[in-house]
Every structure is written in C-alpha cells, then in structure tokens.
Chains A and B, each alone.
Chain A
Amino acid sequence: MGQQIRLEVVTPAGAKINEDVDIVNAPGFGGDFGVLANHAPFLSTIKIGTLTYQIGNKRESLMVSGGFCEVSNNKITFLVESAERGGEIDVERALKAKERAERRLAQAAQQTENFNRRRAEVALQRALARLKVANLK
C-alpha cells in the first residue's frame, strides 16, 4: 500500500469523515478530479455530486452538495453543505423531491421565472445525486 492522504469532510452539522485514504474522487466545478497523496496545494469549488474515496480495496461513496475543497499538507478538506452516505439517504424522500422539482421545472418553463427555475434545478440535481449514491450501495 502506498502513501495515504488524510480526508476530512466537514458540514455545518459537524465533521463527517476524518480518515486516511488512498485516493479521493470529487465533483469539481470544472469537472471531476482525483487527488492522491502529496498533492500540490489546491483549492476548488465543489458542485452537487458524488464523492468517492478508496482505502485499500474498499470503496465508499458519498453524496455531497455544493461547497469547496482545499488540499494542503497532504490533507484534503471538503467544506460542503451536506454529505450523506448511501445508507443514510432516504430514497423515498429523494424520489419525491425529484418529482416535485420536475413538476416545478415544467411550471417554470411556462412562466419564465428565473429564480424559481434555478431553485428547482438545484433541487433536482440534489435529488438525482442522492438517488445515484443510494443505488451504488
């Protein structure tokens, strides 16, 4: 096993993960990126999506919603609004949220109301990310 990097995931509801991992894959704003041990100092914004990391042969996935991440001193820190493991996700609720968001989007398309559409889009993205992570399990 090679060198490891310390992964920290912090949300407003508390620290979520704090452990040494082999590789981290994260949904960066400009596209997904991977981080290995001893990565150069790095700062990126994070969009809604799936964060995966690997320890040995164990692979874990988390749903993360917007925030940013910082790499420094062989440590990668994610500051996100929420982070949920597959098992913690309420699939039913996510499905309902998805339907609701889709309905809102359909309504907003007729009214050309920007703010509501934006909100519905974000809600839809969140719901889809949740479902994806939940199904990975």
Chain B
Amino acid sequence: MASLKEVKLKIAGVKKTAQITKAMNMVAAAKLRSAQEKMEAFRPYAAKFNEAMSNLSGGANTTGFPLMEVRDVKTVEIVVVTSDRGLCGSFNANIIKLALKMKREYEAAGKKVSFVCVGKKGAQLLGKTGCVRKSYRDIMSSFQMFHAREVATDIASQFLSGASDKVEIIYSNFKSVAAQVPAVSSLLPVQPTTEQAAKEKSFSGEYIYEPSTEEIMDVLQPLYLNVIVYHAMLEVGASEHAARMTAMDNATNACKDMVRSLSIIYNKARQAAVTSELMDIVGGAEALK
C-alpha cells in the first residue's frame, strides 16, 4: 500500500485537475452559447440564399457555367473542417476518421485525393498522409465571413484550373449539445437544387435579371461556396465547444471518482497506521507492568 503522504499528494493533484477541467467546462459552455448565437443569426441568411439560388437555377439555363461543369472525376479535393484545439474528446478524431475513410474509398476507385484543412487539428493529424494541399490554421477561434471567402476562392480557382474535378467538405453537424455527427456535403461542381426548385416552381422563370442571368450566376456561385464553407465552419465551431463541454464534464466526474477511491485508500492507510501505533503503545504499556 502506498504511503500516507503519497496518497495525500495524489488526492490534492487530482482535485486540482478537477478544478481545471471544471473551469474548462464552464468556458466551453459560455463559448458554445456565443457560437450557437452566431449560428442562429446566420440561419435566415442561409435560408434566403438557398431560396434565391433555387429560384434562379429553376428559372435560368444553368449550362455553360464553369463552376457547374461536371467533369470526369480524376482528382477529388476534400475540405476537412476541424477545430484548432484539442481536449474535446473524440470530436476531431471522428472527423479525421471519416476523411481517411473517404480517401481510401476514392483511392480504391482509382482517383487522386487531396486535402484542404481548415483548423489546426486536421492539419496536424492529416499531415502524415502527405496529401494536404493547403491548411488554414488558427482561424477557428474567431472566424469571420472573409475567412470562409478565402477558403472558397482558393478551392474555386483550383477547380477552375482543372487541378480538382470534384470538391467535398467534411464537417461536424451540430445536432444538439450531446450529439455532433460528422457530415459530408458536396461543394463543387455546384449542383442546381432541383427538388427545391421544383417546389418553388410557381415563381421561377418570370424574374427580371439585372445585369443578366450569367452575370448574376457569376456572382452568386462563389457566394454560394462562401455560404456553405461558412456554414460548415459555424457548425464545427459550435460542435467543438459542445464536444469539449461533454469531454470536460466527463473528466471532472472521473476526477471526482478518483478522489473518492483515493480517499478510501487514504483512510484505510491512516486507520492501519493508527491501529499499529495503538498496538505499539499498548504493547509498551504492557511491557512496563
């Protein structure tokens, strides 16, 4: 059995760890709230955008736009959105796992795969595959729309130059505080949103376009990429904090359990010491008689 002093030190250490994890939990909770607010605020914009986009692609002739061109797929680019920091359980690992699985599947089908990493963790973990074309680090903590634009512009130019024929984005879908599910959605080529367009067919086709459909599409399509990338970043941001909250809550509970079992060991050891001392005293007194 460990000595009294050792156990006591260990208990103090674990208690301190619990304090830190508890503080991190609370910080994550506060950050989650602001991330969620950001997400809520973005929702009407995204909804309106999709509405307009489907109106447009429903009413306009969509062929002849370079960003919509469906090519024979030789190279697939995967945008992986992860967090910048760790200590959030299996959150990043789940996203990376999905990314690696997709890479395997595409490579089995004879296609080349390259990664674009948004968030430091993804860049670190995927770095060893040697397929990372570009990585954006340290932008997840305070990202803005223009960060998303930077990423979107880059992948669009890559697509237009023919260096990639298909682009997908992996992120984490924020279902609730308790559940974050890795998700994939397609970025390029831009697909006309057919089912939505059909739903709102009553309106399409009678718009006046200014300056022209083509020019509007030229502006809208890059914006559309921005919206998707930004949305993915928001989802990952919220998911990251939610995942960290859960992870830190678990850690705090584990610490409490450890303190409890260590206390039992400590008490037992102390009791044993007291008993043996008593026996010494009693033994000594006995000998004096």
Chain A residues with a Cβ under 8 A of chain B: 8, 10-15, 28-30, 33, 40-45, 66-68, 70, 72, 77, 79, 81
Contact = CB atoms under 8 A, between A and B. Distances in A.
Given A12-B230, A15-B44, A43-B207, 8 more contacts: A14-B45, A29-B210, A29-B215, A30-B210, A33-B210, A41-B203, A42-B208, A70-B52
A10 B210 contact: no
B219 A72 contact: no
A15 B42 CA distance: 9
Contact of B55 (A28, A40, A70): A70
11 contacts: A10-B45, A12-B230, A40-B206, A41-B207, A43-B52, A45-B210, A77-B48, A77-B52, A79-B49, A79-B52, A81-B145
Interface string B125-146: 0000000000000000000010
B41 A45 contact: no
A79 B206 contact: no
B56 interface: yes
A44 B48 contact: no
Contacts of A45: 210-211, 215-216, 219-220
Contacts of A70: 48, 52, 55
A29 B44 contact: no
Nearest to B230: A12
Contacts of A77: 48, 52
B65 interface: no
Given A12-B42, A12-B230, A43-B56, A79 B210 contact: no
Contact of B216 (A14, A33, A43): A43
Which one of B40, B49, B210, B230 has the greatest number of beta carbons of chain A within 10 Å?
A: B210
A25 B219 CA distance: 21
B51 to A, nearest CB: 8
